[in-house]
């Protein structure tokens, strides 16, 4: 995709109706719970700041303040939305409805909330989203496709933690004719930097003397894993798009556009990672 097209994608706003955020029975429980004192580590998780385990670390190292005072006990309780809570110099936002969003990420955007180099951000494409959401994991600058956003910290943590082995599916276009032996190596596993052994479920979609197209599903989520795996077996990825994440599929969502997930989609993903 040319740089001109990337600029056009940034200035063209998605034609998306202003939807209402997803509200599940679980979410209503969380919002009710927020009116009562709750453990500080759970509060930080519900607010989308971090996971409970990492919240314990933030608290233990004195990086969390409640009403101006440093708190070091994870069991300390506060009222979300009433007490003033800060992590470092960042104020923890009050309770709000949970939002679950899927974006079809274009080429040339980075998965970050800000960038000192001024490159296009995936959040630039969420112009009608009122909730403060952040990406679930990341896609590289040169990778397109399914990218999730949420303000549900526990959901995001479980979807990205290796312990839960959430599958990610990619459609990869590879330069040249890919031999069967190379495909079999991807299935059985190869050693790449950042992983003891990386393997995936591989389906051959098409190939000729110019290029090969495969569908590859992985569960490890190492940075640039698909590209590294293909390089190890002697080939090069020239185009990569993520088409699936867990039980969610990209479908016919257009490049640069987003939509809120349906209730059933969110519930299936929660079930996949053992959430109530």
What amino acid positions are annotated as catalytic residues?
140
Q: How many CB atoms lie within 10 A of CB 148?
A: 22
Distance (Å) of CA 127 to CA 11, 15, 265: 11, 10, 23
Tell me if 145 sits within 8 A of 90, measured CB to CB.
Answer: no
Helix axes 153-160, 263-272, angle to 10 degrees: 50
Tell me if 20 sits within 8 A of 262, measured CB to CB.
Answer: no
CA pair distance 144, 241, nearest whole angstrom:
5
User: Minimal CA–CA distance to 14: which of 261, 265, 259?
Assistant: 259
Burial 232-265 (b: 16+ CB within 10 A, else e): bbebebebbbbbbbbbbebeeeebbbbebbeeeb
| Structure tokens belonging to residue 103 | 């974006």
User: Minimal CA–CA distance to 244: which of 166, 160, 137, 168?
Assistant: 168
Using left for φ > 0, alpha for ψ between -120 and 50, and beta otherwise, residue 201 falls in: beta
């Amino acid at each position: 995709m040319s740089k001109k097209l990337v600029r056009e994608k940034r200035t063209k706003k998605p034609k998306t109706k202003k939807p209402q955020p997803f509200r599940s029975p679980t979410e209503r429980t969380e919002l009710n719970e927020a009116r009562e004192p709750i453990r500080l580590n759970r509060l930080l998780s519900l607010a989308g700041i971090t996971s409970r385990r990492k919240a314990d670390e933030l608290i233990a190292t004195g990086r969390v303040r409640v009403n101006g005072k440093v708190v070091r006990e994870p069991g300390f309780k506060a009222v979300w939305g009433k007490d003033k809570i800060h992590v470092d110099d960042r104020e923890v936002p009050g309770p709000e409805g949970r939002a679950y969003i899927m974006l079809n990420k274009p080429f040339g955007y980075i998965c970050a909330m800000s960038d000192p180099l001024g490159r296009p951000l995936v959040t630039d494409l969420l112009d009608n989203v009122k909730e403060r959401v952040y990406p679930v994991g990341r896609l590289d600058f040169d990778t397109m496709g399914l990218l999730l956003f949420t303000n549900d910290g526990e959901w995001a943590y479980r979807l990205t933690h290796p312990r839960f082995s959430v599958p990610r599916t990619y459609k990869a276009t590879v330069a040249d004719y890919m031999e069967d032996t190379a495909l079999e190596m991807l299935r059985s596993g190869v050693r790449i930097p950042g992983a003891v052994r990386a393997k995936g479920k591989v389906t051959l979609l098409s190939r000729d003397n110019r290029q090969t197209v495969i569908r590859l599903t992985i569960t490890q989520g190492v940075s640039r894993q698909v590209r590294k795996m293909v390089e190890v077996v002697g080939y090069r990825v020239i185009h990569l798009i993520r088409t699936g994440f867990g039980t969610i599929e990209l479908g016919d969502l257009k490049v640069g556009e987003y939509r809120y997930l349906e209730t059933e989609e969110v519930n299936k993903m929660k079930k996949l990672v053992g959430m109530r």
